[in-house]
Amino acid sequence: MRKHTVLITVLFALVVTLLSVSAVFWEFFQLNKQRYINYIFSKHSTITQILRQHQQNPNSEIMLEANLAVYSFVLEKDVKKRKYITKTAKILKTKDFKSVDASLMMLQEGLYTQKIVTDLTASMLELNKKIYFYIQSPSTSVLILDEELKPYKYYPLAYAYSIIILIISISFVLILIRLRPLIRLRKKIALYGDGDMNVSFKTKGKDEIALISNELEATRGKINNILESRTLFLRNIMHELKTPIAKGTIATQMLESQKQRDRFSSIFGRLESLVTEFALIEEVTSIDDKSEFKEYRLVDIIDDAIDMAMIERSSVTVTIDAKHKIYANFRLYTTAIKNMIDNGIKYSTDAHVKILIINNELCFESKGACIANPIQYYIEPFTKDNPSKNSFGLGLYLVDSILKAHDQVLAHEYDSGINRFIFA
């Protein structure tokens, strides 16, 4: 999910924008339609006035129709059709009001005005894209077709809505297209991080993403040159060191004094061990792929590590199921275990190391006092508690470097006189 945060954010913004625009247009549609209905409903007052005049001065039906025709009104006289329309038509608006009819009357006392208040109900109906006005009173009812009025047309508003939605959608599609190079760039960076040093970040264009890609390409070239120079320097210097060490070892055997021969042999032996450890450190820190990582039985790696340590089998107790397997670089992982065996025997009180699995983690147990400093102190190069011990202080540093290449860490805990180092 986190890998696609930008894409999800863009899509979320698109959905929110579309919903917001749709909601605004829907409200505008409802409001505009209601305003249109209210506007055309005002025609009912004209119809009511014509009917009132007809009731006050009963003329022929022809005169009523003529008065209605002036305003493009048509009186529906077919009783069956009128019933059908009033039952099936959609009611757009209904209003109840009182109609007041005033007439001049004469009695013996003189003239007076007579007012008659009539309850009326005016309804505006829609059927088959036609607008009808249905006027009801206690004594009569009429249905009148307005030939000029048409139902509310939503096409212009729908057209505008479609255009805006299309523009928004195209804009977001363009944004996603512009983000595609960023997705490819992320994949290339991941490949580079996994050790593909020849991946190219170079791209065409002058936008921000292209500028970043080209800057990364320039940086990649500089890093590769530095790594190549470093590797070449270390390998050359170690090769050059091995030659005088070998010559010194041979020349040592020509010395007449046994004491001097032993002393110089020890010096050249330590120098050779130091160069060997430097070579391993260089190999671990510059490892750029995991093509040599395979699945091995852990007991096979431990057995090879014991042989490499050149110690008695009785000095190591292994209580690990033969079926337990790990995915590792055989030679490097063997070196890490060998260093842990050496470390455990060297600093334990009984020169014995126990290797076992606890909570699916490889552990090395040895008796002795608790280490004086946190484990982070000992995984730094050239650090050790006892300078008199015959070591360079690179053992645990090399172990930690190998474990990091295997996505593991070195941990330590002390329990009841037991130092326990853990490959977690």
> Given the DSSP bridges, would you call strands 141-146 and 130-136 parallel, antiparallel or unpaired?
antiparallel
- Judgement on whether residues 17 and 136 belong to the same structural domain of the protein: no
In a domain, 219, yes or no: no
221: number of Cβ within 10 Å: 13
Q: Which amino acid, 158?
A: A
Burial class, 130, CB count within 10 angstroms (exposed 0-12 / middle 13-18 / buried 19+): middle
Confidence of residue 117 (pLDDT cuts 50, 70, 90): very low
- Judgement on whether residues 130 and 236 belong to the same structural domain of the protein: no
The total number of structural domains in the chain stands at: 4
- Judgement on whether residues 97 and 238 belong to the same structural domain of the protein: no
Q: What is the DSSP letter of 414?
A: E
DSSP SS3 for 57: coil
- Judgement on whether residues 308 and 389 belong to the same structural domain of the protein: yes
Note if the pTM is more than 0.85. no
- Judgement on whether residues 72 and 50 belong to the same structural domain of the protein: yes
- Judgement on whether residues 303 and 394 belong to the same structural domain of the protein: yes
- Judgement on whether residues 115 and 262 belong to the same structural domain of the protein: no
- Judgement on whether residues 77 and 101 belong to the same structural domain of the protein: yes
In a domain, 380, yes or no: yes
Q: DSSP for 204-217, please give it.
A: --SSHHHHHHHHHH
Does residue 296 contact residue 325 with C-beta atoms inside 8 Å?
yes
146, 165, 190: which is the final residue of a domain? Answer: 146
Report the mean per-residue pLDDT for the chain: 77
101, 120, 146: which is the final residue of a domain? Answer: 146
We report the CATH number of the domain holding residue 376 as 3.30.565.10
In a domain, 187, yes or no: no
In this predicted structure, what is the pLDDT of residue 114?
A: 47
In a domain, 201, yes or no: no
Q: What is the pLDDT of residues 138-152, one digit of tens each?
A: 767 788 888 777 777
- Judgement on whether residues 411 and 379 belong to the same structural domain of the protein: yes
Radius of gyration of the chain (CA): 49
Q: What is the pLDDT of residues 287-337, one digit of tens each?
A: 655 667 888 998 999 988 888 888 888 889 988 888 888 888 888 888 888
Q: What is the DSSP letter of 314?
A: G
In a domain, 217, yes or no: no
- Judgement on whether residues 312 and 391 belong to the same structural domain of the protein: yes
CA dihedral sign of residues 412, 415, 417, 422: negative
129, 146, 163: which is the final residue of a domain? Answer: 146
Cross-sheet strand order for the sheet of 410-415: 316-319, 353-358, 361-367, 418-423, 410-415
In a domain, 126, yes or no: yes
Confidence of residue 13 (pLDDT cuts 50, 70, 90): confident
- Judgement on whether residues 120 and 165 belong to the same structural domain of the protein: no
In a domain, 214, yes or no: no
Q: Which domain holds residue 252?
A: 226-285
Virtual CA dihedral for 33, 35, 36, 38, nearest 10 degrees? 120
In a domain, 17, yes or no: yes
Nearest in space to 339 (alpha carbons), one of 281, 267, 271, 387 = 281
- Judgement on whether residues 27 and 164 belong to the same structural domain of the protein: yes
